[in-house]
Amino acid sequence: MKNHAEYFDNFPSYKFHLNPCWYESKGSSIQRLANRIPTHPLLGIRQLNEQTSATWKSLMNINLAQHAFLKDHKIQDAILFPAVVYLELA
């Protein structure tokens, strides 16, 4: 076997810096990290706090253009959530 020690003489003897060398925008980091946070489809993200009961932050943006099926769930012109939503929460 050949001795290749002469190839490694020019490396620095200190530890390399592990800081990132690029700028990441806030939107990009949110999108990148979004898959790491477990979310419930209706409740949203569980908030970490000192309380013993669960606290959730909802991420739902409900509008009729996006959720056209809600137009069928009306009682006297008031739009209600379908009953299956409440079953999902139980």
- Are 81 and 38 contacting, i.e. CB atoms less than 8 angstroms apart? no
Smallest Cα–Cα separation from 80: which of 65, 90, 88, 69?
69
pTM of the shown model: 0.33
Residues 6+ apart with CB under 8 A from 32: 24
Interval 30-81: pLDDT, tens:
777 766 767 777 777 777 767 667 677 776 667 777 777 778 888 888 878 7
- Do residues 58 and 67 make contact, with C-beta atoms less than 8 angstroms apart? no
Domain residue spans of the chain: 5-89
Q: Express each pLDDT in 9-33 by its tens digit.
A: 677 777 777 777 778 888 787 777 7
